[in-house]
Amino acid sequence: MPTVQELLDREFATIAELIAAQAQAAPHHLALVHEQRRIDFAELDGLMDRVAATLQAGGLVARDVIAICASSSIDYAVTFLGALRAGVAVAPLAPGSTPQSLASMLRDCGAKLFFVDRAVASALAPVSAEIGARPIGFDFAPDGGETFASWLAPHGTQPEPVEIDPDSAFNIIYSSGTTGVPKGIVQPHRMRWGHVRRGGDSGYGPDSTTLVSTPLYSNTTLVSFFPGIALGGAVLLLSKFDAGKFLELAARERATHAMLVPVQYQRIMDHPDFDRYDLSSFRMKFCTSAPFSAELKQRVLARWPGGLVEFYGMTEGGGTCILRAHQFPDKLHTVGQPAPGHDIRLIDEAGHEVPQGQVGEVVGSSKVVMNGYHNQPGKTSEAEWRDSTGKRFIRTGDVGRFDSDGFLILLDRKKDMIISGGFNIYPSDLEAVLTQHPAVAEAAVVGVPSERWGETPVAFVVPKPGSKPNVQELLDFVAERVGKTQRLSDLQLVDALPRSSIGKVLKRQLRDEYGTSRGASSHS
């Protein structure tokens, strides 16, 4: 068996091979922790063998697909990793999706088996007749299926060796569907191997402990989970995020790494007992998936030991920017510079590159890229842009510009940009102004239809605890700090902003809710 280093020196190997090598080198090293259960690398490797062998015994072969829809657990992680050893792709699905959407995703990916927990199975009961995949229950025996424990092959069972094509599907991650029908993003083994190989640069290794508090179906989680486990470190799984539990677990287990989304950083930094916890073990903290304000980055840098790195990119891959906030404290308003080997450019509406300093849509190219959208070649083509040489880029839908030092400043999502009276208004500019007000905790701005202007900006504001801001005062506060064309036409105070499971504000939902509530007074 090749050693860990021999595998890492290869242009391509697999995560399953790397975990086998880790188990050979340090069998009793802690691998996974979830609540009271802890397993080492020898047990993890053995469980992966058993999952792979069971899949093969059931007739699944390389390039087949299984689906998993459950909260994070060791059995979930083992199933995912074991399927990869058999060359079987995994479609990790979001438990928060509607039953109809889950049934649609299962049909689309063609999963042969569907691994669920009790809560998901209960939610899916109304559409169970539409689901062709055989269910396996992590914590119960579903109708027409069996428990994970009874399905799993006996201890010591070995799978048949499988040769993995670097370009074959590793996983199929479905987009949230908040802007339409979910699309299955097919990520190849080659892409995930690239994530693991660069993990050493962030300090992942046998002496690292990664705290995972975002769900395992999210690409945000997986870009941290796989390097954490494959490079020989321990991974702590938190099924449901809670700031207090996160801090307690991080301090007790001496966590060194964590991937968090901005709203989680906000809640952790606002926790009244934050300073009571010893977080000195942290080497690196990561953030991605949603806008991360410069003010919040500064708070994290000032109070939480270890480095802070923001990744900007898409689940589809293409191009990534990296901001090492601890190294560039004067660039916190940016998302950093293109990662090594990543080509980031800006294009206009006609698909032409824009000159340095001008605004355009962000497109990116690299070796870390999806194969395409599953069963949707048309959507795949729409997501691509090619330069004059034919080089393939992925369109992000984000609008931004580069500063004179080559750091990317994001202005907004292209679809969220408001065109009012012929002027472009970037909601992020208005949100940044609103959050400067001492009574404002969070803000989101959306464009709503206007007979006079075409579109007009409306704000939704979450007050800070104990604060009762006056709506007109907030409207005046913004008006004094922006141009006339940027002024808000309305503002609503809300208890919370609607968010996806990984912290993205659901602006489409805000627009829809505003449209149905305009008959009521919003200045309250």
375 contacts 184 by C-beta, under 8 angstroms: yes
Those residues with Cβ within 8 angstroms of residue 122's Cβ, 6 or more apart along the chain or in another chain: none
**pLDDT (tens digit per residue) in 427-486:** 988 999 999 999 999 999 999 988 878 889 999 999 999 999 999 999 999 999 988 889
Q: How many CB atoms lie within 10 A of CB 116?
A: 28
**pLDDT (tens digit per residue) in 277-317:** 999 999 999 999 888 989 999 999 999 999 999 999 988 99
**How many angstroms from the chain centroid is the CA of residue 451?**
37
Single-letter residue type at 86: A
Strand 418-420 and strand 454-463: pairing?
Answer: unpaired
Q: What is the pLDDT of residue 289?
A: 83
Whether residue 207 has pLDDT greater than 80: yes
Q: How many CB atoms lie within 10 A of CB 416?
A: 22
Q: What is the pLDDT of residue 518?
A: 64
pTM of the model: 0.84
Q: What percent of the chain has pLDDT over 90?
A: 80
Spell out a b/e string for 239-261, using b for 16 or more CB atoms within 10 Å of the CB, else e: bebbbeebbebbeeeebbbbbbb
- Domains in the chain with CATH codes: 4-187 (3.40.50.980), 341-413 (2.30.38.10), 417-517 (3.30.300.30)
256 vs 307, 322, 325, CA distance in Å?
10, 19, 17
Least confident of 106-110, 158-162, 408-412: 408-412
**pLDDT (tens digit per residue) in 146-188:** 999 999 999 999 999 999 999 999 999 997 544 446 789 999 9
